[in-house]
Amino acid sequence: MCLGIPMKIKKIKGDFADVEAGQLIRTVNIQMLSHIREGDYVIVHAGFAIEKVDPEKAKDTLKIIDEIH
């Protein structure tokens, strides 16, 4: 099973971005997406941002993940 996590883009550095979900911060590759900005939410899988997502849906998903954890 694969799991993609919604994460918020904190800082863009060329083809990479620092992303955050709760206390988890990672650097991911953003080459597959165009027109993303700091503050956007993206689905991250295996170190790559693979899809831009609606902020409200991302927050709802993160809330559910936090409740499970």
DSSP letters spanning the chain: ----EEEEEEEEETTEEEEEETTEEEEEE-TT--S--TT-EEEEETTEEEEEE-HHHHHHHHHHHHHH-
CATH number of 5-68: 2.30.30.140
Per-residue pLDDT reduced to its tens digit, 16-67: 999 999 889 999 999 999 999 999 999 999 999 999 999 999 999 889 888 8
pLDDT at 52: 97
pLDDT at 1 over 60: no
Domain ranges of the chain: 5-68
Confidence band, pLDDT 50/70/90 cuts, at residue 68: confident
